[in-house]
Amino acid sequence: MLLAVGQSLSFYEILAPLGAGGMAEVYRALDTRLERTVAIKVLSDEVADVNARRRFQREAQAASSLNHPHIVIVHDVGDHEGRQYLVPEYVDGGTLQEWLRPGDRSWRQVVELLSGVASGLASAHAAGIRAASPAVTGLTRPGIVMGTIAYMSPEQAVGKPVDARSDNFSFGVVLYEALTGRQPFAGATDLELLQNVLHEPAHPLEGDFPAELRVIVEKALEKDPADRYQSIGELAVDLRRALRSATNRRLERASPAATGATQTARRARIVAPSLAALALGALAGRFWRGAPPAPAPSIHPVRLTEMVGMEETPALSRDGKTVAFVARVDGRRQVFLRRLGAGAPDPLTNDDADHSFPRWVDDSTLIYFRHPVEEGGLGSLCVMPRPWPGRPWRT
């Protein structure tokens, strides 16, 4: 690791390493000025040439101006002994790998989550981050391309100029891995892996996936950038469309009315000629007499909360059994959950921060809500597992 626990970078004290990649290492740190936990991303020595440093500064400035629920906030940028570093917010919500670890995530849950990631990446591209950036040059060892090979686009792997379509390829790798549990390209050595990324097709997407999702993954992993998704926004739209289509098909298969309608249609093709005259006569009589008014729907309001004060931003789970909402407690907005027909609301948060906008994900097993990391902060997204039956909520 580049930094040791207890070491200081300007106002930041290193607390623990979080992870490392081909281009940078990430640490959990303490901002000693504001007494808040942050992350520190320190770039490798091998991407420290003048052009790369200028590009890093420009991208850091652009990232700091972004405000998107799926993009961490950049607080600061600096230099330590010739190494550039970023100071983004620290989000204590686990990693994608940890979220996928139980192995029971459906492809719908994966696509729902990564659709948000694609939306955040589209926002970054729109802000000019990564757009038309040249390949990394001026490295200390000739012929070395920095990055994690398994997630590189072919053009990046050979040191060609890259643009936003390179990110689209890397997103396709993450999507493939999240769906299948393995990467689309493999090799016994880095050199073999690099050759496969450049020349071999991805392993087929094995599993019970809809055809439209297979097409999305294959298009994202095209070798030629011209054949790939030209924008991550297009990819995000296709992911959401695949979700809607699969949901509609599932509802049609599960609906007894749909099955009955199909059988009725078959019988109608046989008896329709003999009923035509009768149907026309009945229709004419209906218009002549006037159709009887439809009965008024029966509405039975149910009160969901009895708390003092204003409840805000309610969100009903997709199974229709739980409502999440925000209410003030001692002047702070806290998130509450109410299981319909199961007693009083349960507090999901109880601290000194303001929380807002709870949202359910996929089949009511996950919930997102805004969770500020500091007083007045813009907040972050927290992912919670389903509490019922018998399981407590946890971050």
Which CATH number is 177's domain given? 1.10.510.10
| Residue 360 binned pLDDT confidence (cut-offs 50, 70, 90) | confident
User: Among 67-81, 177-191, 212-226, 295-309, which range has the highest average pLDDT?
Assistant: 212-226
Q: Final residue of a domain: which of 199, 226, 250?
A: 250
Least confident of 45-59, 96-110, 255-269, 271-285: 271-285
Percent of the chain's residues with pLDDT above 90: 27
Task: Evaluate if residue 182 carries a pLDDT over 60.
Answer: yes
Q: What is the pTM of this model?
A: 0.57
Peptide bond into 345 cis (omega under 30): no
Residue 52 has a pLDDT of: 65
Task: Evaluate if residue 208 carries a pLDDT over 80.
Answer: yes
Q: Give the domain range for residue 69.
A: 8-88
Same domain flag for 107 and 84: no
Residues 6 and 82: their CA atoms lie apart, in Å, by 20
Indicate the residue type of 251: L
Q: Final residue of a domain: which of 210, 232, 250?
A: 250
CB 274 within 8 A of CB 319: no
Question: Could you tell me which residue, 105 or 214, shows the higher pLDDT?
Answer: 214
Average pLDDT over residues 338-349: 80
Burial readout 272-308 (b: 16 or more C-beta within 10 A, e: otherwise): eeeeeeeeeeeeeeeeeeeeeeeeeeeeeeeeeeeee
Task: Evaluate if residue 355 carries a pLDDT over 90.
Answer: no
Same domain flag for 182 and 62: no
Same domain flag for 138 and 233: yes
Burial readout 58-89 (b: 16 or more C-beta within 10 A, e: otherwise): ebbebbeebebbbbbbbbbbbebeebbbbbbb
Residue 207 has a pLDDT of: 83
Same domain flag for 231 and 101: yes
Going by C-alpha positions, the residue among 74, 70, 150, 154 that lies closest to residue 115 is: 70
Task: Evaluate if residue 322 carries a pLDDT over 60.
Answer: yes
Judge whether 287 lies within some domain: no
C-alpha distances in angstroms, 247 versus 115, 243, 311, 316, 362? 16, 6, 31, 18, 10
Judge whether 376 lies within some domain: yes
Alpha-helix runs per DSSP H in 221-347: 232-254, 256-289
How far does CA 329 lie from the centroid of its chain?
30
Q: Final residue of a domain: which of 63, 88, 113?
A: 88
Tokens of 162: 């890259």
Task: Evaluate if residue 383 carries a pLDDT over 70.
Answer: no
Question: Could you tell me which residue, 308 or 316, shows the higher pLDDT?
Answer: 316
Task: Evaluate if residue 47 carries a pLDDT over 50.
Answer: yes
DSSP letter string over 33-61? TTTEEEEEEEE-GGG-SHHHHHHHHHHHH
Average pLDDT over residues 248-273: 56
Residue 92 has a pLDDT of: 82
Residue 365 has a pLDDT of: 59
User: pLDDT tens across 16-33, in order?
Assistant: 999 887 677 899 999 999
Judge whether 159 lies within some domain: yes
CB 70 within 8 A of CB 117: yes
Residues 129 and 62: their CA atoms lie apart, in Å, by 7
CATH number of the domain that residue 13 is part of: 3.30.200.20
Average pLDDT over residues 56-81: 79
The side-by-side arrangement of strands in the sheet containing 356-361 is 356-361, 366-370, 381-385
Same domain flag for 347 and 227: no
Same domain flag for 70 and 104: no
Residue 271 has a pLDDT of: 40
Same domain flag for 108 and 45: no
User: Among 78-87, 258-267, 296-305, 336-345, which range has the highest average pLDDT?
Assistant: 78-87
- Number of domain units in the chain: 3
Same domain flag for 65 and 168: no
Same domain flag for 110 and 227: yes
How high is the mean pLDDT of the chain? 76
Rounded to 5 degrees, what are φ and ψ at 74?
A: -95, 120
User: pLDDT tens across 93-140, in order?
Assistant: 777 888 887 667 889 999 999 999 999 889 888 887 774 443 333 333
Residue 259 has a pLDDT of: 52
Rounded to 5 degrees, what are φ and ψ at 45?
A: -60, -30
Same domain flag for 122 and 82: no
Same domain flag for 161 and 205: yes
